[in-house]
Amino acid sequence: MADHTSLRNLSSRELAGKLLKESQNSSSHESQLGAYQSLIDTLWNRLTPTLGRVTVTAIVERALALTRVTQPLAEKINVTNHGIRLEDIKLEEKSDLSEDSVQQTLEEFIANLIDLLALLTGDILVRQIFTQVDRRELK
């Protein structure tokens, strides 16, 4: 059973890693990317009604800009008015991409997104994410 206190003490990087690990149910690289896409879609769909499409797009683009500084693979993540797309990473995976580089990039991106949300909302939305993680652990 999850402890709210322990989840709240997680850094954004640890939370991102936890969310990504919970989304991974398969060992195949393509299935893992599908799980990442599903998690990112869920975040987008939860944020958009509250903050609005333009605001969410701006926050996500800022998180991507921060991620691109240290993770060149983040160039392959695209933001549209309808969400965040990982198709270019799927195409790139045919080359020399390692699962670790994909996972590091996505963890960094999600951690940056969580950091920005915490900064902009005074942790209100981040607490809701903690609650969602808590509910998943109880199942």
Percent of the chain with pLDDT over 70: 62
Strand, helix or coil for residue 81: coil
Q: Residue 65 has what pLDDT? A: 97
Q: What is the pLDDT of residues 10-51, one digit of tens each?
A: 566 666 666 666 555 544 556 678 888 888 898 898 889 988
Are the C-beta atoms of residues 93 and 80 closer than 8 Å to each other?
no
Average the pLDDT over each of 1-10, 41-50, 70-79, 120-129 and give the range with the smallest value: 1-10
Buried b / exposed e along 23-57 (16+ C-beta atoms within 10 A): beeeeeeeebbbbbbebbeebbeebbeebeeeebb
Report the distance separating Cα 133 and Cα 10, nearest Å.
12
pLDDT above 90 covers what percent of the chain?
26
Q: How high is the pLDDT of residue 13?
A: 62
pLDDT band at 78 (very low <50, low <70, confident <90, very high): very high
Model confidence pTM above 0.75: no
What is the reported pLDDT for 34? 82
Residue bearing the bigger pLDDT, 16 or 6: 16
Region 94-102 average pLDDT: 69
